[in-house]
Amino acid sequence: MNEKTITRLLLVEDNPGDARLLLEMFAEQGSGNTDLMHVESMSAAEKHLAERAVDIVVLDLGLPDVQGLDAVRRARAAAPRVPLVVLTGLDDETLSTQAIREGAQDYLVKGQIETHGLRRALRYAVERKDIEEALFVEKERAHRLNEELEERVVERTAELQAANRELETFSYSVSHDLRAPLRAINGFAAMLARRHGEVLDAQGRHYVETIVSTSEHMGVLIEELLDYARMGRALVRTEPVPLDPLVTRLRATFDQRIAESGATLEVIEPLVTPVGDPVLLERILVNLVENALNYRRPEVAPRVTLSATRHGRRVTLAVADNGIGIPAESHEKIFEVFARLQGDDTYKGTGIGLAIVRKAARLMGSDVTLESTEGEGSTFRLELPAARKGSTTP
């Protein structure tokens, strides 16, 4: 414990009798080189404190120019870094406690002061003030560190935004510049078939058709890769997303596919409204339904079931199918970009659909889970917060 010597003490007391008594006691327990100063009003004290440094202030709370807590406040204002001990009367327990709350380090009850207690009280007041000061310094440091951190965050955000913009330009020119030659490959192959098809034999026409179809496939790949890369560039929204209009659009999109494949798209009502990003959510559902219709068992009519059920404050969205299913060992891999389990000749796909689904889910703070048995079907699930009842309007 660092024993600070109290060399300069300021007593603010207007009652001469009290003052003399206290000064005697201070002198008695002091080490002889204690500088005792005495003033009789707050304004005198303020003047003194403005001109001189002191180690401790002993303050009577009943002064001619200010009393009680106001006195404490003014003393604190005049010397915020100096330990303060207040003098209170016998019946002023409440006032004493309040004084401490206002920033005094201790209080002494007039008429109950004796030398040892006084010495201890003064010393403890100084100790306590030291601790307070140390805390104050720490707080300042923490505040500065916080500001530095904030600055760094702002810098990093700017860097990320710049990188994002770069990605934007890059993705844009990639898509533009890759698609032009693809158009040419596809277009001229098609024209070859149309205008010179008659000089080609069946094999020749097959070659040309393959050029046409694979270049189209590559076009789709580029589109989806671009989508994947750019997803999340726009601010991800968090709002109630009513699912009924979404489902209506889904049905419209897949109407023809559904009819052609003899499939059924079943919706389990009611569809609880989730909170998320409407664009991402729609993308997830479109991709999942697309997969469900695509990866069907040839001998079984595809049956796709869409649901959004409440579990406490969350909604579980699920797209279930009765298709070919996914073997357990591929349940993780299947969400990777370009991951394909099936060959191109059996099932057409880009291998990006589920990567997009997962990225979209994660952008909304969630994730996609898979439950699937090979040869029986798959269920993809996504959990989101449920919109509060009556808040279905975004």
| Residue 219 near other proteins by CB under 8 A | yes
Closer by beta carbon to other proteins, 25 or else 229: 229
Peptide bond into 270 cis (omega under 30): yes
Of 111, 116, 194, 390, the one binding other proteins (CB under 8 A) is 194
**Residue type for 316, please?**
T
Number of residues that bind other proteins (CB under 8 A): 20
Region from 81-89, 117-125, 216-224, 332-340 binding other proteins, contact rule CB under 8 A: 216-224
**CB 184 → other proteins: shortest distance, Å?**
4
CA distance 156 to 162: 10
CB of 370 within 8 A of CB of 379? Answer: yes
When the beta carbons of 209 and 332 are compared against other proteins, the nearer one is: 209
Closest separation between CB of residue 237 and other proteins, Å?
16
Contacts to other proteins from residues 172-191, by CB under 8 A: 172, 175-176, 179-180, 182-184, 186-191
Between residues 44 and 218, which has the closer beta carbon with respect to other proteins?
218
Rg (CA), the chain: 40
- Build a one-symbol-per-residue string for 347-386: x at contacts with other proteins by CB under 8 A, - elsewhere: ----------------------------------------
For position 216 contacting other proteins by CB under 8 A, the verdict is yes
Distance of closest approach, residue 298 Cβ to other proteins, in angstroms: 26
Q: Which residues pair with 59 in a beta bridge?
A: 12, 86
Least distance between other proteins and beta carbon 196 (Å): 13
Least CB distance to other proteins at residue 190 (A): 4
**Span of 57-65, 125-133, 212-220, 278-286 interacting with other proteins by CB under 8 A:** 212-220
Whole-number Å distance between alpha carbons of 357 and 372: 17
Q: Please tell me whether residue 70 binds other proteins under the rule CB under 8 A.
A: no
**CB of 143 or CB of 233, closer to other proteins:** 233
Report the C-alpha gap between 241 and 382 in whole angstroms.
14
Cβ closest to other proteins, residue 211 vs residue 300: 211
Site for other proteins in 139-178 (CB under 8 A): 172, 175-176
Torsion sign, CA atoms 302, 308, 311, 315:
positive
Based on CB atoms, which residue is closest to other proteins, 36 or 190? 190
By beta-carbon proximity to other proteins, the closer residue of 350 and 379 is: 350
Shortest Å distance, C-beta 224 to other proteins? 13
Q: Which residues bind other proteins (CB under 8 A)?
A: 172, 175-176, 179-180, 182-184, 186-191, 194, 212, 215-216, 218-219
